[in-house]
Amino acid sequence: MIPVILSGGSGTRLWPLSRSHYPKQFLPLVSENTMLQETIRRLNGVSRLDPPIAVCNEDHRFMVAEQLREIGVKPAAIILEPVGKNTAPAVAMAALSSKSADDVLLVLPADHVIADIPAFHTAVEQARTLAEQGALVTFGIVPGHPETGYGYIKRGDAQPGSAYGVAAFVEKPDLETAERYLASGDYFWNSGMFAFKAGVFLQELEKFNPEMLTACKAAVADAKPDLDFVRIDKSLFMACPADSIDYAVMEKTDKAVVIPLDAGWNDVGSWSALWDVIDKDGNGNALSGDVLTVDAKNSFLHSSHRLIAAIGISDLVIVETADAVMVAPKDRVQEVKQVVDKLKARKRSEADIHRKAYRPWGHYYSIDEGERHQTKRIVVKPGAKLSVQKHHHRAEHWVVVKGTALVSKGDEQILVTENESVYIPLGVVHSLHNPGVIPLEMIEVQSGSYLGEDDIVRFGDLYGRT
């Protein structure tokens, strides 16, 4: 069985912690590991597993590779989607990349929480058995309350292996309908997790959406290896229709079965959902970071950098990052998407990026910026190298704080050690290498008429960036 990890989401519902360039699947929200890492780790103990296939946004490729490396996982492939087309094309590309049509794919979103791992393993083994027999298996979450934020699956006739046929997939209901679903006992929450043979899924996709399969076949056939990644041609993939697995296949096929799963599942789709699954103090508060409370109840408070002091509050969500603070009643946190929409309409960077930005060579943190100047703290991993590049609109001053930098500046090679600096004039071709065994830390001061990240002309790059 091959785990297929879907990691293409943008995570705007957990803004300001989750942003489009650093969405929730890459954050350690419920443990010391990120949600992507937890998705892989909870498979430990499942028998006969092949290395996973990850499918992710092209912009997130280095985060996926690094986070898998951190937990000692070497994937069979990391497939890069040049544009988001929903889950059906992502899974089709994974199925087309598998070694055999008889391979069972276990499709898992990278941003879910599952508390009862043994129950999850039991359901996975049941799904494997049914998938080997030709079924398209989905996991239906046994509902604990009338939820209006999920789609539902109505069960049909009982099947072998504690499974049921699928009578219908239904859209997110209103509260009255959700209460009726819960009372009937015939409905499950739609988890978005699946198991099926690669060949069976592709056969059903060809039957119900041949245009999608044709486009995916063309894109995979033209795919190019790029370091650890499989790069899909954008122009070919743009021709692919966008659709979910549910709409493209599961709602139409007669091979669908559902396995009930009662394992403490949560898709962490909002701050209130995250409050549900993490530990709380005696007053029902979920606290993270530097937080002090006086007479606070049933609230979620997360501090990334500064002290949060909360007095006399209840049922609030307060989330602090280096560049934003979000405050909302717990029952209105779904409306955070409206904030993100307004930020995007005003072209504000807080919609997409944090002050801390990750790169394949390390990361940088934006300390200060103003008209014609910007200051960053840069950390370069041992042995890593920034691309050979130049800038049309800015000059740079580098001050080494820790470690040693080997700087190429035009035709010069300069070794810069702690408390030393180097100046890179506008238009000069340059690069930066950490030749040491400890991280290189330095301060970069940029000055010029334009300081955007797109003012980079690359002449060479270890990581395949253009």
Residue type at 322 in one-letter notation? A
Residue 342: inside a domain:
no
Q: Give dist(CA 280, CA 258) in Å, integer.
A: 33
Q: Are 150 and 266 in contact (CB under 8 A)?
A: no
pLDDT for the residue numbered 241: 93
Q: Which residues pair with 406 in a beta bridge?
A: 415, 433
Which CATH number covers residue 379?
A: 2.60.120.10
* Residue that finishes a domain, picked among 293, 308, 337: 337
**Quick one: tokens of 358?**
């990750």
Which CATH number covers residue 167?
A: 3.90.550.10
Edge-to-edge strand order for the sheet containing 457-460?
412-416, 405-409, 430-433, 388-390, 457-460
Distances, alpha carbon 338 to alpha carbons 19, 62, 161, 297, in Å: 14, 29, 44, 26
pLDDT for the residue numbered 309: 97
Angle at 68 between CA 46 and CA 19, to 5 degrees: 115
Same domain, 174 and 134: yes
Which tens digits make up the pLDDT trace of 203-226?
999 999 999 999 999 999 999 888
Residue 346: inside a domain:
no
Same domain, 212 and 294: no
pLDDT for the residue numbered 11: 73
Average pLDDT over residues 4-26: 89
Residue 93: inside a domain:
yes
Q: Are 430 and 407 in contact (CB under 8 A)?
A: yes
What is the number of other CB atoms lying within 10 angstroms of the CB of residue 410? 11
Peptide bond into 425 cis (omega under 30): no
* Residue that finishes a domain, picked among 203, 236, 265: 265
pLDDT confidence band for 463 (50 / 70 / 90): confident
Report the share of the chain in percent with pLDDT over 70: 100
Q: Give dist(CA 131, CA 103) in Å, integer.
A: 10
pLDDT for the residue numbered 446: 95
Same domain, 162 and 295: no
Q: Give dist(CA 248, CA 231) in Å, integer.
A: 24
Domain count, the chain: 3
Range of the domain at 136: 2-265
What is the number of other CB atoms lying within 10 angstroms of the CB of residue 70? 11
Report the share of the chain in percent with pLDDT over 90: 83
Same domain, 175 and 63: yes
Residue 344: inside a domain:
no
Which tens digits make up the pLDDT trace of 309-358?
999 999 999 999 989 999 999 999 989 999 999 999 999 989 988 888 88
Q: Which of 1-10, 192-201, 434-443 has the lowest mean pLDDT?
A: 1-10
Q: Which residues pair with 195 in a beta bridge?
A: 106, 137
Distances, alpha carbon 382 to alpha carbons 1, 81, 288, 419, in Å: 36, 29, 31, 19
Residue 269 has pLDDT above 90, yes or no: no
pLDDT confidence band for 227 (50 / 70 / 90): confident
Helix (H, G, I), strand (E, B) or coil at 243: coil
Which tens digits make up the pLDDT trace of 115-131?
999 999 999 999 999 99
Which tens digits make up the pLDDT trace of 286-300?
999 999 999 999 999
Q: Which of 103, 90, 154 is nearest to 131 (CA)?
A: 103
Same domain, 176 and 206: yes
Q: What are phi and psi of 129, to 5 degrees?
A: -60, -45
**Quick one: tokens of 79?**
């497939």
Please, where are the H alpha helices in 101-221? 117-132, 175-184, 198-208, 210-221
Same domain, 406 and 370: yes
pLDDT confidence band for 464 (50 / 70 / 90): confident
Same domain, 85 and 211: yes
Residue 150: inside a domain:
yes
Same domain, 294 and 226: no
Which tens digits make up the pLDDT trace of 57-116?
988 888 999 899 999 999 999 999 999 899 999 999 999 999 999 999 999 999 999 999
Average pLDDT over residues 239-257: 94
Which tens digits make up the pLDDT trace of 173-194?
999 999 999 999 999 999 999 9
Which DSSP helix (H) or strand (E) runs through 405? strand 405-409
Residue 465: inside a domain:
no
pLDDT for the residue numbered 430: 96
Same domain, 42 and 14: yes
Same domain, 279 and 413: no
Q: Which of 17, 245, 14 is nearest to 139 (CA)?
A: 245
Q: Which residues pair with 420 in a beta bridge?
A: none
Q: Give dist(CA 135, CA 292) in Å, integer.
A: 52
Residue 429: inside a domain:
yes
For the chain, what is the mean pLDDT?
Answer: 93
Average pLDDT over residues 244-248: 94
Residue 113: inside a domain:
yes
Residue 161 has pLDDT above 80, yes or no: no
pLDDT confidence band for 54 (50 / 70 / 90): very high
Q: Give dist(CA 302, CA 348) in Å, integer.
A: 23
Q: Give dist(CA 463, CA 466) in Å, integer.
A: 9
Average pLDDT over residues 5-11: 85
Same domain, 78 and 103: yes
Same domain, 251 and 155: yes
Average pLDDT over residues 357-369: 88
Angle at 69 between CA 65 and CA 71, to 5 degrees: 130
Question: Which residues make Cβ contacts (< 8 Å) with residue 364, sequence separation at least 6?
Answer: 356, 357, 376, 377, 378, 379, 444
Q: Give dist(CA 446, CA 436) in Å, integer.
A: 25
Average pLDDT over residues 418-446: 96
Residues in the chain: 466
pLDDT for the residue numbered 358: 83
Q: What's 133's DSSP letter?
A: T
